[in-house]
Structure 1
Amino acid sequence: MKLYNTMSRQTDELKPLEEGKVSIYTCGLTVYSQPHIGNWVAYIYWDLLVRILQVEGYDVTRVQNITDVGHLTDDGDAGEDKMQKGALREGKTAWDVAQKYIDIADHEAYGQLGLIHPTHLPRATDYIPQQIAFVEELEKKGYTYTIDDGVYFDTSKLSDYGKLARLDIDGLEFGARVADTGKRNPTDFALWKFSPADEKRDMEWESPWGTGFPGWHLECSVMARELLGDQIDIHTGGIDHIPVHHTNEIAQTESLTGTTFANMWVHANHMKVDGTKMSKSLGNIYTLADIEEKGYSVMAFKLFVYTKHYRSEGNFTWENLEAAQNRLSHWRNVAALRHQTHDSLHQNDEMDPSPAAIGAIREALSDDLNTPEALRIIDETFSDIEARGFDHINHHTLTELLEAIDDILGLQLIESTPDITDDQKRLILGRTQARQNKDWMKSDELRDRLAVDGIAVRDTAHHTIWEYK
C-alpha cells in the first residue's frame, strides 16, 4: 500500500507501527451547519482508504472526531466560535445545534453515502477533562504562556515548527487582529480560550486558568492520543488543514510525547463548483438533498467524486454529475445481468475478465488511491462482459466482481439492482412470444407495461435483455 505523504512530499509505502494493523485519525465535521457536497468529498476518499486497507487484510482502527466546540471562524485565535455562531443564527443553544447537525451528518454519511462507520466517533465536548490535562502537561514542560484572552502554545520553543507545511516562519508577520491579542509570535496558537467577562457561553468549563473552552487544534491531539496512543499510522484531512490545524497538532502532540505523531499525513484536495470556490454569496453551495431533488442518485455523486484523484482539485457541474449518473446506470444494468445468466458449460472460460479485474482494481487503489484508473478498469471489464454474449457470461465470477466493487468502492451495485418479479418475467416471455408471432401490437403493449415499472427491454440476436430505466 502506497500513499502520498505530505510530510515527506513523496509517495511512501505504508509500514504500520504494528504488523497487520493500521491506525487512522480523520479530522471530522464542525457540526454548526448543514453539510454540503464539498464537505463530503474528503470523507468519501477516507472511506475508500479504509475499505482498500481492509480488503488487503489490515485490521483498521479509525477515529473521526466531531468538533462541537472551539472551532474559530478564521482558523486562528481571534474569530468567533463556529458553534456559538450557529447557536445565535438558529436561536438555539450550541448543544441543540450540535445535536441537530450530528443527526443530519450521521444520516447523510452512513444512510445515504453508505460510508463505513469509524471505529470511534468522539465529540470534543466529551473530552474536556483530558484536554485540560493535556494543556497542564504542556505547561509543566514550559511550552505555554497565558495572556488576557487565553493560554497559548509558544511555537518559538520548537526548532522544527511548521515542518509539515514547510512554513517560512521568519517571513511571517502579525496580522491586524492578532497583533492586539498579545501573542508573542505570529504562529502561537490558543490551547484554552477564556470566556468574555460580559458573556455567558452555552459551552464553557472551569479550568486551572479560568472559565473558558478549548482551542480547536487541541481536541484532535487529545482524542487521537486517548483512543489510538502516542503514535498513529495515518492522519487524514483536507489540504486546508496543512498550514494551521495539522501543523499545530504536530507541535503540541510531539512536544508532549517526544515522538513522531503520525507516520503518514494524507490530504485531499478541494472541489469547486462551476470552476469557482463554493460560496453562499454565489449561491453555489449544494447539498445531497439538492442532488436528489434534481433526480440524481447520491451514489452517482459518490461515483463522480471517484472520477478525480483525491489529490487533484475537482470541479462539480450538473453536466459532470449527469455523466456520472449515466455511468452508474450502465454499471447497474451490467449488475442486472447476474439475474439473467446461469451457470453453463462455459463457466471455466479462461478468457473471463472478472477475476483479473478484481486484482487490477485492488492494485490501482493500493497505488495512492488511484480511483480514475480503477474506474477505467471497471468500464473496460464491463464492456468486455457485455460483448461476450449470454452464453459466455460467467454468472459466478460476475457476481464476485460486483461484490468486490461494492466492498472496495461502496457503490451498492448489488443492493440497488434487485431481480425483477415473476410477473414482470412473464411479461417479458409474453412479449418474446408475441414477437415470434409477429404480433407487434401485443409486443409494444407488453413493452409499455414494463416501462411503467421502470424496466426497459433490449433485443439481441438470441436473447431479450431487461434493464433498469
Structure 2
Amino acid sequence: MIQLYNTLTRRKDELKPLDGETVRFYTCGLTVYSQPHIGNWVGYIYWDVLVRLLRWQDIPVVRTQNITDVGHLTSDDDNGEDKIEKGARREGKTAWDVAERYISIANHEAYDVLKLIKPDYLVRATDYIQQQIDFAKGLDEKGFLYKIDGDGMYFDTSLLKDYGKLARLDVAGLEAGARVSVEGKRNITDFAVWKFSPKDAKRDMEWDSPWGVGFPGWHLECSTIARETLGDSIDIHAGGIDHIPVHHTNEIAQSESLTGKQFSQIWLHNNHIKVDGRKMSKSLGNVITLEDIISRGFSPMAFKLAILSKHYQTEGNFTWEILEAAQARLNHWRDYAVLRHQTHDTLEDDDDKDEQDDSVSLLAGRQALVEKLNDDLDTPGALALIDEVFSKLDHTPLDKIHRQSLVQFIDEIDEILGLDLAESTPDITDDLKMFIIQRRQARTEKNWEESDRIRDELLQAGVAVRDTPSGSVWTWK
C-alpha cells in the first residue's frame, strides 16, 4: 500500500488508481529556453523513483510529461516576454531553433546521463496547439473566458467558489488593495488562456485562433496534454512547490471547469535545492549543471544519491562536500556489489547456506526497502536501510555470503532507484583473476616482492585487492 502526501488534502493518502488498475501520472516538464541546471532535475529524480517503485510492485503506470516550448512568460502574472522568444533574442536564433537545441540537451541529460525512465508521452506544447484551442473554445462556450483587447482571452476566476483550493489561497485578501498587473483584468487571480501577438511585431511562434492570432497561455498546455493523453481525471499530478499557487491552481480551475470532474486525485510537490545555502542565480554565479559535476570527475549517480538523501518535501542543499560524501557512499555500495562475482554462484550452495547460522542473506532487506519507499517515498530512510543491509557483509567470509540474495538486492536497488550498481561493477577478466591467484600464491610463499609487483599491475588495470582472513577480495579502484 503506497501512501503519498497529497498537497490538496494536506495529509498522506493511499494511492488507489481510479480505474482500479493503472496509475495515470502527469508531470510538469521543463521550459526549454536555456541549459538545465541541477535544480531542474530534482523533481524528476524523485518522480522517476516513484514510477520505478510502482512498476516494481507490478502496478501499471502511464506517465505523461510536457515540454514547454511556447507560452511561458517571464512573469507569472501574464506580463513579460515569452521565455523562448527571449532565449532566441539572446542567442540570435529563432525560437524554434532555441527550443530544439535545449530539448535535445535536456533529453540527453535526463535519459542518457541520469538514466531516468522516459515518460510514455513526452509532448511538446507546440505539437498540441489545435487541441489547446479546442480546450479554450470549450471554456469560452461555457462562459468562463472574457477578452481584453490587445492582450488576450482571460479566465474569470470569480465564477469558481473553490478557486485556489490547492494552495488554500485567501483570494479576498489578495484582492484587497492589490494592483492588477494587466489592465482590464476583472480579478487579480484571473489568468490568460490565450495571448494575442503584438500588433507591431510578428512572433516566431503564433497561430490563428477564433479570438485572433496569438499563442496559448502557459497553464493551458498542461491541462490539455493531460486530458488528451490520460483522460479527464488522473491519479497523480506532480511538480515543484513553486507551481502550487499559480500554475497548478490555474490548471485545476480550467480543467475542472471544462470537464466537471476532479482533475487529479493526488498532487505531489517537491521542494527545491539551494547551492551553499543560497538560491541558484546567474547574478550570484552559483548555477551548477550536470556538465559541471561530470567535469569534476563525479558520477551522475552520485548526484542522484545526493538528491535522494533528502526527502522530496524537504529543501535540499548542494555543496561539493555533500557530493563527495554521496560519491563515497556510491563507491562503497559498488564495493559490496562486486562481491557477487567472488562468492559461490550455485543455487545448491545458496540452499546449503540457508541452513547455516553463520551465513548472511539479504532477502529480508528487499521487502524492507519497498516498505520504506511506500511510506511517502521515504528515500532518506531507504538509503539508510541499504547501508544497514550491506553492512551485514562486513567481515563476512565470501563463502558465507548468500549470493542469490545479494544479486537480487542489487537488482532491486537498480530497478527502483536507478543507480546502475550492476552495470558499473562488471566482473574482472580471467587474466586478472589469474593475477590474483598468483599473488595469493606469492603471499603464501612469503614472496613479498612478487606479491607487491602483482598488486601494482592490478592497480594499473583499475583493480584493488584487499587481504582478509578468508582470502583476497578485489574491488574496482
Calculate the TM-score normalised by the size of structure 2.
0.96
Distance 1:33 1:405 in 2: 33
Cα shift at 1:73: 1.1
- Is 1:453 matched up with 2:461? yes
Cα shift at 1:286: 0.6
Distance 2:470 2:97 in 1: 62
Distance 1:108 1:466 in 2: 32
Counterpart pick for 1:308 among 307, 310, 333: 310
Residue-by-residue CA offset, 1:431-465 (whole Å, 9 max, x unaligned) = 11111111111111111111112111100012100
2:11: which partner in 1?
10
Counterpart pick for 1:389 among 371, 393, 397: 397
Deviates more, 1:448-457 or 1:350-359: 350-359
CA contact (8 A) 2:79 2:181 kept: no
Amino acid at match of 2:116: L
2:164: which partner in 1?
162
Amino acid at match of 2:89: L
CA contact (8 A) 2:69 2:126 kept: yes
Distance 2:322 2:296 in 1: 14
Residue-by-residue CA offset, 1:214-257 (whole Å, 9 max, x unaligned) = 00000000000011110000000000000000000000000000
Could you say what secondary structure the match of 1:65 adopts? strand
Amino acid at match of 2:240: G
Alpha carbons of 1:13 and 1:312: their partners in 2 closer, same or farther (altered >3 Å)? Answer: same
Amino acid at match of 2:190: D
1:29: which partner in 2?
30
**For structure 1, which runs of at least 5 residues remain unmatched after alignment?**
none
Could you say what secondary structure the match of 1:449 adopts? helix
Cα shift at 1:61: 0.2
CA contact (8 A) 1:20 1:57 kept: no
Please list, as runs of the form range in 1=range in 2, the aligned pairs for 1:329-340 lying within 5 A after superposition: 329-340=331-342
Q: How many residues align structurally?
A: 469
Could you say what secondary structure the match of 1:145 adopts? strand
CA contact (8 A) 2:361 2:402 kept: no
Amino acid at match of 1:347: K
CA contact (8 A) 1:309 1:369 kept: yes
CA contact (8 A) 1:268 1:310 kept: yes
Residue-by-residue CA offset, 1:141-177 (whole Å, 9 max, x unaligned) = 1100000200000001111100000001011148998
Counterpart pick for 2:412 among 404, 407, 414: 404
Distance 2:381 2:178 in 1: 47
2:373: which partner in 1?
365
2:223: which partner in 1?
221
Identical aligned pairs, as a percentage?
A: 64
Distance 2:154 2:182 in 1: 14
2:430: which partner in 1?
422
Cα shift at 1:347: 3.1
Please list, as runs of the form range in 1=range in 2, the aligned pairs for 1:20-419 lying within 5 A after superposition: 20-148=21-149, 149-173=151-175, 178-342=180-344, 343=346, 344=349, 346-349=352-355, 352-419=360-427
CA contact (8 A) 2:219 2:250 kept: yes
CA contact (8 A) 2:179 2:188 kept: no
Deviates more, 1:255-264 or 1:74-83: 74-83
Cα shift at 1:348: 1.8
Amino acid at match of 1:39: N
Distance 2:372 2:411 in 1: 17
Could you say what secondary structure the match of 2:446 adopts? coil
Distance 2:444 2:101 in 1: 60
Residue-by-residue CA offset, 1:174-231 (whole Å, 9 max, x unaligned) = 8998434221110000000001111111100011111100000000000000111100
**For structure 2, which runs of at least 5 residues remain unmatched after alignment?**
none
CA contact (8 A) 2:70 2:215 kept: yes
Distance 2:471 2:395 in 1: 13
Query: What RMSD in Å do the two structures reach over aligned CA positions?
Result: 1.3
CA contact (8 A) 1:162 1:243 kept: yes
- Is 1:19 matched up with 2:20? yes
Distance 1:426 1:106 in 2: 43
CA contact (8 A) 1:353 1:381 kept: no
Residue-by-residue CA offset, 1:389-445 (whole Å, 9 max, x unaligned) = 212101111101111111111100001111111111111111111111111111111
Calculate the TM-score normalised by the size of structure 1.
0.98
CA contact (8 A) 1:77 1:178 kept: no
Amino acid at match of 1:337: L
Distance 2:394 2:417 in 1: 21
Amino acid at match of 1:376: A
Amino acid at match of 1:440: W
Distance 2:3 2:395 in 1: 34
Distance 2:112 2:178 in 1: 45
Distance 1:41 1:281 in 2: 22
Cα shift at 1:74: 1.4
Runs of 4+ in 1 over 3 A off after TM superposition: 173-180, 349-353
CA contact (8 A) 2:70 2:126 kept: yes
CA contact (8 A) 1:174 1:186 kept: no
Distance 2:44 2:166 in 1: 21
Could you say what secondary structure the match of 1:458 adopts? strand
Alpha carbons of 1:133 and 1:258: their partners in 2 closer, same or farther (altered >3 Å)? Answer: same
CA contact (8 A) 1:110 1:117 kept: yes
Distance 1:301 1:119 in 2: 25
CA contact (8 A) 2:180 2:187 kept: no
Amino acid at match of 2:96: W
Could you say what secondary structure the match of 2:394 adopts? helix
